[in-house]
Structure 1
Amino acid sequence: MASRALILFAHGARSAGWAEPFERLRDMTAARVDDCEVSLAFLELMAPSLPDEVAAMAARGITRISIVPVFLGLGGHLQRDLPALVERLRTQHPQLSIDVAGPVGEDAGVLAAMADYCVTSLS
């Protein structure tokens, strides 16, 4: 059983189909890591919520969690909502080490891949 986990954190939407690319990203990520549980959690409108996912992981014996915001930029949700959620989670689960990465959309490699996609759309 893994002692560490990676949670891809997305916004959430009312449409169930909205989550499909994030589920594919979760599955692709899980296929590339060993001894690490990979899951998906949402800020709102979809389950599981981040608090529910972290609580379930803690109950399974996970001790280290990395959260990757699957957002394009550092907007209000990542500046206010996520830090407040993580602070509460750290208080509720003091046995956990919780780290938060920057939003995927601010990574140079992600931006380069997106630019490549945009350029190839010029047909």
Structure 2
Amino acid sequence: MRGLILFAHGARDPLWARPFERVAARCRDLMPGRPVTLSFLEFMSPELADAGASMVAQGCTEVDVLPLFLGAGGHVRKDLPVMMAALREAHPAVQWHLQRAAGESDVLVEALAQVALQLLATGVEASA
């Protein structure tokens, strides 16, 4: 079974996580029966190691880790590969796949451009 970990930065304010929780819920809706979890670099839980252990406990033999970052800064380029190496060492029977940062996706770039264009056209926040 193939699982998905959505990896976000985390924040001290619990309200910060709401959009990411919505993304995780939408993924679960679109992929029923497939394990999907949200994990965080700091300030929130679960951390990546715990999310990975949960995927293994659910029977995943392959897990994709999608960084929910707009760009591939230091956390994505430096910190996350170290965390992925730890997952591989802790769970060698599982194939761990680190994906590009979500912000590098043409789909997300287009969505953000559409939000900006809608704001300019209406003067109203797109999700209001």
State the TM-score, normalizing by the size of structure 2.
0.91
Q: Which amino acid aligns with 2:11?
A: A
1:84-110 superposed Cα distances (whole Å, 9 cap, x missing partner): 000111011001111011011111111
Identical columns (%): 40
Query: Which runs of no fewer than 5 residues in structure 1 stay unpaired?
Result: none
- The 5 A counterparts of 1:66-85 are 66-85=64-83
Look up the match of 1:46.
Answer: 44
Q: Where has structure 1 moved over 6 Å in runs of 4 or more?
A: none
What is the alpha-carbon root mean square deviation over aligned residues? 0.9
Contact in 1 for aligned 2:35/2:58 (Cα 8 Å): no
Using the alignment, how far apart are the partners of 2:38 and 2:23 within structure 1?
9
> Is the 8 Å Cα contact of residues 6 and 38 (structure 2) preserved in structure 1?
yes
> How far off is 1:9 after superposition?
0.4
Q: Secondary structure at the residue paired with 2:49?
A: helix
Deviation string, structure 1 residues 16-35 (Cα, Å, up to 9, x no partner): 00000000010011111144
Q: 1:61 aligns with which of 40, 59, 62?
A: 59
What are the residue-to-residue correspondences of 1:78-93 with 2, within 5 Å?
A: 78-93=76-91
- Distance (Å, rounded) in 2 between the aligned partners of 1:34 and 1:98: 21
For the Cα contact (< 8 Å) 1:9–1:70, is it kept in 2?
Answer: yes
Whole-Å Cα distance in 2 between the matches of residues 79 and 60 of structure 1?
28
Q: Which moved more, 1:112-121 or 1:58-67?
A: 58-67
Q: Is the 8 A contact 2:63 2:96 kept in 1?
A: yes
Which deviates further from its counterpart, 39-48 or 50-59?
A: 50-59
